Amino acid sequence: MKIALIGADGQLGTDLYKYFSGRGEDITGLTLEDIEICNKNLCNSVLLDLRPGLVINTAAYNLVDEAETEVSNAFDVNVAGVKNIAEICSSMGCALMHFSTDFIFGGYEKTTPYNEDDCPSPLNIYGISKLAGEYVIRYIMKKYYIIRICGLYGHTSSLGKGYNFVELMIKMASEGRPIKVVNDQVLTPTSTKDITEKLYELIKTEKYGTYHMTNTGSCSWYEFACEIFKLSGLNPQINPTTTEDFGAKAKRPFYSVLDNHNLRQAGLKDLRHWKNALADYIAERKK
């Protein structure tokens, strides 16, 4: 099956392209130089030219704090752009794989992992725009995979953000900067490598639907940072702080751990524990 990958030079896109092409898949990587999802005519001509059986869209506006003021930019990419792609895929009869986020949940009402049927209640504009993107796909399409992920890190840092959390922590520690990290937001750090391998398995099932896909276990951002330093042999001055003291512009859920329920239902094994995935990542970056 021919695959078109949008956002091929992003954090997830880079690993996806490497893994899928390494497995002999007929995958074409598209970057912002080839395709702009907000430009429907361009999307139409690029995708009609390729005639893929599956489009994988990793493109997103993912600046969580900036989205609070750049509302229309977030909605242009995460909603209108996604609508363009969904309409084109639907008219070509091809499937779409799209990525959403743990931030569609509010994290006030639960302290146990969210499954795919839990009611969304996003707390920030980014989460609202990503949730709207999900609804648009479900409204237009039948053959879709919506994959909700969380706390992503990969060897190609997020292009949108310019960093990932692991690299940011290591950089701050090596510069000797004092580090404050929130200890009251609980998540599951997730490796792009593990996601990519599981996506490959999922695509083979052709079981369309909405999936949570994260490594297993959970921790606060502070605990995540401490584990990064332990595995990297770094010993910076690090202090836990609260969401209130940290004072980010966008609200974030206190708890946004996802249960990969639908993945197990589809007959796929759960992902490994986040600490094992992180240990691999740190070992690989030392090579």
Compare residues 50 and 239 and give the one whose CB is closer to ligand NAP.
50
How far apart are alpha carbons 212 and 249 in whole angstroms? 26
- Is position 37 an interface residue for ligand NAP (rule: CB under 6 A)? yes
Tokens standing for residue 118: 């839990």
Helix (H, G, I), strand (E, B) or coil at 105: coil
Residue from 28, 84, 129, 158 in contact with ligand NAP (CB under 6 A): 158
The residue nearest ligand NAP at its CB is 10
Print the binding letters for residues 252-281 with ligand NAP: x by CB under 6 A, - otherwise. ------------------------------
Segment near ligand NAP (CB under 6 A); pick from 21-29, 83-91, 144-152, 244-252: 144-152
How far apart are alpha carbons 213 and 151 in whole angstroms? 11
How far apart are alpha carbons 174 and 186 in whole angstroms? 25
CB of 276 to ligand NAP, least distance (A): 19
57 DSSP β-pair partners = 6, 98
How far apart are alpha carbons 56 and 94 in whole angstroms? 11
Residue from 5, 7, 88, 166 in contact with ligand NAP (CB under 6 A): 7
For 136, list phi and psi in degrees, rounded to 5.
-60, -45
Residues at the site binding ligand NAP, with contacts judged by CB under 6 A:
6-7, 9-13, 31-32, 35-38, 58-60, 62, 77, 81, 99, 101, 130, 149-152, 158-160
